[in-house]
Amino acid sequence: MIKNIGRQLNTFVDERDAESMPFQIQAGVSKKLAHTPIRLNVDFIHLNNWSLAYNDSTQTTNEDPTLTDEEKAEKNKTGIFTEMFRHIVVGTEFMLSPNFMIRVGYHVKRRSELAFVNKGGMVGFSWGLGFRINKFHISYGGASYHLAGLSNHFTVSTTLGDYYKKDAPQIPKEKKQKERKKAPKTAN
């Protein structure tokens, strides 16, 4: 998925340059495990930007006159695994029946940026449940972005194809082809 491709047409303040869009490339994969009611999801985010780590000490380190440029660069460096895991969001869906699901997820980047060091709480975790009533899917999802509170999401969806008549008898493809060959040709 490619998000926010384009540019700002009108600036918020006159005589200022257009601001850049938060462009992002994402990819995801989902796999239902055979013979289990479990579906695993992995999303790869910010594929257009490798360096996502935010280092709180960068400004303090860079303003320290006793450090050389090499020492500053070493203190500001983040590891390859730190960077790699910030690009991954994982989730699991437990399908307890065809009409009821429970979901959990974990967002590494969100937790590393928004959780307090001494009290992380549930920051970065998400959860939800979904159920189907007749032709409607109803879902609830909760996510913790900060210790101050949760984000709650409710969704009601349906599939338009569910409303087409399925009772009409289906003619097999081979029979349709035979009927076309037998039909008299008309001249226009």
Give residue-wise pLDDT tens across range 112-158: 777 777 777 888 899 999 999 989 999 999 998 888 888 999 999 99
pLDDT recorded at residue 105: 96
What's the token pair of residue 79?
């590891």
Tokens 């709650």, located at residue: 152
- Model confidence pLDDT, tens digit, residues 91-103: 999 999 989 999 9
Report d(CA 112, CA 2) in Å as an integer: 24
**pTM of the prediction?**
0.66
